Amino acid sequence: MICLPARPSSRVLGESSMKMKLLAGVMALALVGCSEQSSEDASTTTAADTEAPAVAEESADAAAAPRIGIEAAPGVAFDYAYTFRLVDKQIARVQEEHAAACETLGNQRCRIVDVRYQLSDEKLVEAQTQFKLEPGIARRFGANAIASVEKAEGVLADASVAGEDVGTEILASQQRSAGSKAEIARLEARLNSGGLDKRERAELLAQIGQLRGGLSGERQTRGAGEARIAWTSVAFNYVSNGGLPGIGHENLFANARETLMRSGSTALTFVLTLGAAILPWGILLALIVAFWRSRLVTAVRLQLRSSQKANDPAIPPTS
């Protein structure tokens, strides 16, 4: 007798199906939650990666040049000075790059006021470029210059920022001008009142002229101060990165060879010049000596000597 397994009832099948559906739903929810968490993590990572270069750039920028905001120092005229140390051959190229960067900004924002390049007695290069920049871009201009120097394998050797409180000086000048104008008005009123003799009128007119001259000087002072505030001075100094004193980076053996060649050439030139000056006289002297010792001249001399002996009674004749 063969016993067949009992078929599951419909109730058991329904419960199994329900469990499978619940399990599938739980797994789907878990996958959705993981996906959302991954997206959030990716977004956070992307934001962090995006902010990191910006923070790094800001930190590097702050380390490269002093960060001084114009808002924190109103009325102060700043002077930036940088000293770059580079290889001699790179100085001219970097100097041209900085000048080109200023020209790109335009005359309204940047002006080149002085350029200098020289080779010192120690065979080392020294150069300088001075700029006048719009105050808002002076610090950024310096930071970009530092980056170009580092790209040329140079270093920032020194940096300084000097400030002058020009705004306070302008305010004091305005106050002095206001006082001078009030004094001029008082003196003119005294003149117009009459009852003054010539001496008093002359004294008042001299005082008024002196005060007006002071007003002109104050206007010039304020104009110079306003120009100082409107433009920031930036100076780039370029110095050589070293070398032997008096020699620099030159090849000693090549220099010695060139010196030897120059010395030999100088000596040869001297000998040839001296020979050219003495040779004609030497040839003339040699010709005279040769002519004097020739047979003809010798015979003439012997004949003259014999005649002299024959005519001189003091000399006995030779036997």
pLDDT tens, residue by residue, 90-131:
999 999 999 999 999 999 999 999 999 998 876 788 999 999
What is the CATH topology of the domain spanning 76-165?
Alpha-Beta Plaits (3.30.70)
Average confidence (pLDDT) over 237-253? 64
Q: What percent of the chain has pLDDT over 70?
A: 69
- Banded model confidence at residue 73, pLDDT cuts 50, 70, 90: low
What's the pLDDT tens digit per position in 138-175? 999 999 999 999 999 999 999 999 888 888 888 888 89
Architecture of domain 168-230: Orthogonal Bundle (1.10)
Q: Between 59 and 80, whose confidence is greater?
A: 80
Order the strands of the 76-86 sheet from edge to edge: 110-119, 125-133, 232-240, 76-86, 155-165
- Residue 20 pLDDT greater than 60, yes or no: no
Predicted pLDDT at 26: 43
- Residue 2 pLDDT greater than 60, yes or no: no
Phi, psi of 221 (to 5 degrees): -65, -45
Distances (CA, A) of 144 to 138, 147, 182: 10, 5, 51
Predicted pLDDT at 168: 83
Rounded Cα–Cα distance for residues 244 and 251 (Å)? 11
82 class by beta-carbon count within 10 Å (0-12 exposed, 13-18 middle, 19+ buried): buried
Rounded Cα–Cα distance for residues 302 and 239 (Å)? 86
Q: Between 241 and 57, whose confidence is greater?
A: 241
- Residue 37 pLDDT greater than 60, yes or no: no
Phi, psi of 107 (to 5 degrees): -70, -20
Distances (CA, A) of 91 to 125, 222, 238, 251, 310: 8, 38, 7, 19, 96
Distances (CA, A) of 71 to 61, 105, 135, 168: 19, 22, 11, 16
Tell me if 129 sits within 8 A of 95, measured CB to CB: yes
